[in-house]
Amino acid sequence: MISLQAEHERNVVAAVVSTAEANDGARRGEGLLYLDGKMLPLSYLSPKTEVRESEIHGHGLFAIADIAKDEVVAVKGGHIVDRKTLREKITPQLGPVEIQIDDDLFVAPVTDEEREFSMLYSNHSCNANLGMRGEITFVAMRDIRAGEELTHDWAMTDDDGYSVECKCGAPNCRKILTGKDWQRPELQKRYAGYFSAYLARKIGAHCHSE
């Protein structure tokens, strides 16, 4: 049984709209939340952003106005699911749609309809400009100018066994990404203060054990 710290639990529960209390004028339908006849997004995207085609991969998230360092850019929402459910039921149907929040816990949409309302469209880059605050909130790691693509490094969120080729095109591209890149000392130094709270705890525990 995994025990979540109080701060971790508050952060996650706040974003999982499927378990939130419905506001006045809202209604529910098959697990989705509607307001005035429209489905509410599961995730938050800053009004300073828009989704459009990306040179990195498919569609990406872009700044349409200047964004200040540490400003909130996006918040991932969905359902809390375990690894078995994710791998056996969600990923085969929806693809990679999750964010990891603990060793065996993830936040993800669970239906085709929810997928579009949960996606952030922030691509991976080895020269990322977004980092994490808590488990599910993406913030600017530096001042970002309008027109820039908003990217994050999977090393800040993932602890898994994968190894995939990277084609982000950044000058410092690692070429191969793994689910253990958070263990790399140079990335721990580069992204200090911007790892997810889950990985920050693992990094801290690893450092204290040496």
Domain residue ranges of the chain, discontinuous segments joined by +: 6-152
210 band by pLDDT with thresholds 50, 70 and 90: low
pLDDT digits (tens, 9 = 90+) for 43-78: 999 999 999 999 999 999 999 999 999 999 999 999
Sign of CA dihedral 43, 48, 52, 57: negative
CATH homologous superfamily of domain 6-152? SET domain (2.170.270.10)
193 class by beta-carbon count within 10 Å (0-12 exposed, 13-18 middle, 19+ buried): exposed
CA 174/CA 127 separation, integer angstroms: 10
* Residue of higher predicted confidence among 205 and 64: 64
- Looking at the DSSP bridge assignments, the partners of residue 51 are 61
pLDDT digits (tens, 9 = 90+) for 1-48: 444 444 444 444 444 444 444 344 444 444 556 666 676 889 999 999
Contacts of 155 (CB under 8 A, 6+ apart): 177, 181, 182, 184, 187, 191
The per-residue pLDDT for 41 is: 86
- Average pLDDT across the chain, whole number: 87
CA 177/CA 156 separation, integer angstroms: 12
- Looking at the DSSP bridge assignments, the partners of residue 49 are 63
**pTM for the predicted model, two decimal places:** 0.82
